[in-house]
Amino acid sequence: MRVRIDTELSLGVALRVLQDTERPFALVGEWAGGGAVLGCQPLLTAADHQDPFELLGAAERAAAASTAAAAAAGRSEPAVSVGGGWVGYIGYPSRSAVHRGHPSPPRRQPLPAASLAYYDNVVRLDNEGQWWFEALPSPARTAELEQRLIWWRERLANPPSARSAGTSGWQLQPSADAHAELVMACRERIHAGDLFQANVCGQLVGQLEGEPLELFIRGVETLQPDWAAYLQAPWGTVVSLSPELFLKRHGREVRSAPIKGTRPRPADTAAAAAQRDALAQSTKDRAENVMIVDLIRNDLGRVCDPGTIVAEPLAQVQPHAGVWHLVSEVRGRLRDDVDDGQLLRATFPPGSVTGAPKIAAIDVIAELESTEREVYTGAIGIASPVSGLELNVAIRTFEISGAGVRLGVGGGVVADSDPEGEATELATKALPLLDAIGAPQAVFVNAHSHPVPMRRLGPFPVPRPDARQGVFEALLVEDGRAVRLQAHLDRLAASVHELYGVELPEALADRVDATAAATEGRVRMRIDAVCVGDSLEVAVVARALVARPPVGLRSWSVPGGLGRHKWTDRRLIDAMEAASGEELPLLVDADGYALEASRASVFALVAGGVLRTPPDDGRILPGVARARVLEYAREIEMEISTAPLSYDELASAEAVVLTSALRQTPVTALDGRELRQLPKLLAILEAALNCPG
């Protein structure tokens, strides 16, 4: 079903018809031959837990069967260019369904791993400027589609007015200085032979006021990106201004157009030409591009007919929004038995935003980055039974949750990458996007940053904790009573619910009390919880409590920390402790801010008698003892602060003490530098934890 819609609306104005609709989307640029595809009010929505690869594979198999049946019956398929289909994103976290790899850093603002919805009607602006209503008809939907045509015509005849939109407070996390340190760490791993290339990313974080759709309209009108996409759903909004094609499959033909290599493209013609020539002549950038082309050839080679894969043009300089890019193209012909799901399993996540070899690069990314990627570096697009599969690489993409907005930005690192140059490249890529949406200047350098070098713990990255191994609680038992038992059970319950979607056994508290009652003196109790199949297995064990003398701390950079759970998998902690000798590891983020010790929370008495501890912002374990100390400090009207605690502030503190449910431990030194030990802090912590509460 295809019906002409006569309107002279510009694209920017027409996009506003999506305001206040259910799950609207827009694809603008080269999609479906050029123009725009708009839709809303989907017929179906995929469940959050549904496998997106299997869903798209099944949809294509069903479409192929329908086409074959129609041909056999002598019926022609509908004369539409798109008609509709599954639209949405497959986020980077979906990589775990393809390449398990190492666990990623904590997710600060998680979105669904994938979000797809099925639309049986769209409006389309073709590459000649004509608007069309297109639908995938079915006998059961005839009346509804006729009403949808009327709705679209009325909406385009009377589009909503523009609304206000703005952003503020943009900051790079981690800072440019920290990013340079991470590039150096990646180079070290490349020189050691772990991998050839990895795409190391950070994110700009800001605040949004107003209508996200207006940001998309500004970005599209200013930058005219080839593969722009807008998605809105209950989880938030995605505004993608991507220049990069991940996959385009029409019939059995498939192609990808990876981007690797970037230079700024100034407004001055001569300066722009000089930058273009520099990129064209860069041996480093060409080698980086060719490396990714080889990776994509290998990925497509798993699902294409032998001998059909072609890589041309190769490393061609092309203009994009404020930058020059090196762009290549890889094409092939899919085997007849390969569906869209299998194609995606062979190629996801995109090679240009991971590295080579892909699995090794994914593991280094998990080690070096400060937060799990969400939509960013995944793929956005449409799977239509008529036009086929089209997906962008979700770069130059704003992710909006509530009032928060994030912009992922990164670049490929190879053996001869310049750390400061790579940090500068982040700004080169981000600033045209921020300018396009009218954003204020972003802060790329943190004045309080003191990045700690990332030291290798072995020939390959030591993985972050694997949630499949379970979580646990360690608590103090004193005179037969489990101290602050309910607080510990509440924290454990929150972890197992978030990680496994299950609840603790109702009788667990009674079980712990019975185990505690059989002990004498001060004892350490451990409660382990692990999911086996669909059930939760819980073990309760009491052991002797070992005294710990005052300790020195050795700092270790763990970008993003270890998160809010007390992990059973302590491979990373154990490796740091083994490398620290007599000292205890202090975990710091990529910018050098203290997070926590390997077995305790950190408290410092800083200038003015202020009690400072790092914020509970998703990067640290929310310590039960930590919460009690803060509560007690308020009771005695002591000034407290949970602002970020910098390395320099920690080093110059009047005293530093580690606190856990089991003990309080004074800190004597930081990286070999002797610290002051004002007894006041230890006395406060002991008083807090010895008080009822």
SS3 string, 120-180, reads: CEEEEECCCCCEEEEECCCHHHHHHHHHHHHHHHHHHHCCCCCCCEEEEEEEEECCHHHHH
CA–chain centroid gap for 686, Å, is 40
Q: What is the CATH number of the domain that holds 266?
A: 3.60.120.10
Q: Are residues 492 and 471 in contact, defined by beta-carbon separation less than 8 angstroms?
A: yes
Q: Which residue has the tokens 């590459």?
A: 127
199-254 tens-digit pLDDT: 999 999 999 999 999 999 999 999 999 999 999 999 999 999 999 999 999 999 99
pLDDT at 273 over 90: yes
Whether residue 234 sits in one domain with residue 120: yes
Q: Which of 503, 521, 544 is the last residue of a domain?
A: 544
Q: What is the CATH number of the domain that holds 559?
A: 3.20.10.10
Domain that holds residue 626: 551-690
244 among known catalytic residues: yes
The number of folded domains in the chain is 3
Any domain includes 606: yes
Whether residue 513 sits in one domain with residue 396: no
503-546 tens-digit pLDDT: 999 999 999 999 999 999 999 999 999 999 889 999 999 999 98
Q: Which of 168, 154, 170 is nearest to 21 (CA)?
A: 154
Whether residue 528 sits in one domain with residue 430: no
Any domain includes 69: yes
Q: If you average pLDDT over residues 341-367, what whole number do you get? A: 97
Q: How many angstroms separate the most distant Cα atoms in the chain?
A: 90
Identify the three-state secondary structure at position 404: strand
Q: Are residues 121 and 148 in contact, defined by beta-carbon separation less than 8 angstroms?
A: yes
47-100 tens-digit pLDDT: 988 999 999 999 999 988 887 777 777 766 556 789 999 999 999 999 999 988
Whether residue 424 sits in one domain with residue 323: yes
Whether residue 401 sits in one domain with residue 508: no
Instruction: State the catalytic residue, choosing from 134, 211, 260, 429.
Output: 260
Q: Which residue has the tokens 């004892």?
A: 523
Whether residue 561 sits in one domain with residue 505: no
Q: Which of the four pLDDT bands, split at 50, 70 and 90, describes residue 693?
A: low
Whether residue 532 sits in one domain with residue 578: no
Any domain includes 449: no
3-state helix, strand, coil split of the chain in percent (to 5) is: 35, 30, 35
Any domain includes 452: no
pTM: 0.94
Any domain includes 534: yes
Whether residue 270 sits in one domain with residue 341: yes
| Rounded Cα–Cα distance for residues 624 and 475 (Å) | 9
Q: If you average pLDDT over residues 578-592, what whole number do you get? A: 96
Whether residue 203 sits in one domain with residue 64: yes
Any domain includes 450: no
Whether residue 211 sits in one domain with residue 174: yes
pLDDT at 448 over 80: no
Instruction: State the catalytic residue, choosing from 60, 244, 583, 596.
Output: 244
Whether residue 420 sits in one domain with residue 272: yes
Any domain includes 630: yes
Any domain includes 459: no
How many other C-beta atoms are found inside a 10 Å radius of the C-beta of residue 666? 18
Instruction: Spell out the residues 6+ positions from residue 143 whose beta carbon is closer than 8 angstroms to its own.
Output: none
Q: Which of 396, 417, 436 is the last residue of a domain?
A: 436
Q: What is the CATH number of the domain that holds 487?
A: 3.30.470.10
Q: Which of 482, 514, 544 is the last residue of a domain?
A: 544
pLDDT at 461 over 70: yes
**Which stretch of 490-494, 674-678, 688-692 has the lowest confidence by average pLDDT?**
688-692
Whether residue 184 sits in one domain with residue 259: yes
Q: If you average pLDDT over residues 462-477, what whole number do you get? A: 97
117-150 tens-digit pLDDT: 999 999 999 999 999 999 998 889 999 999 999 9
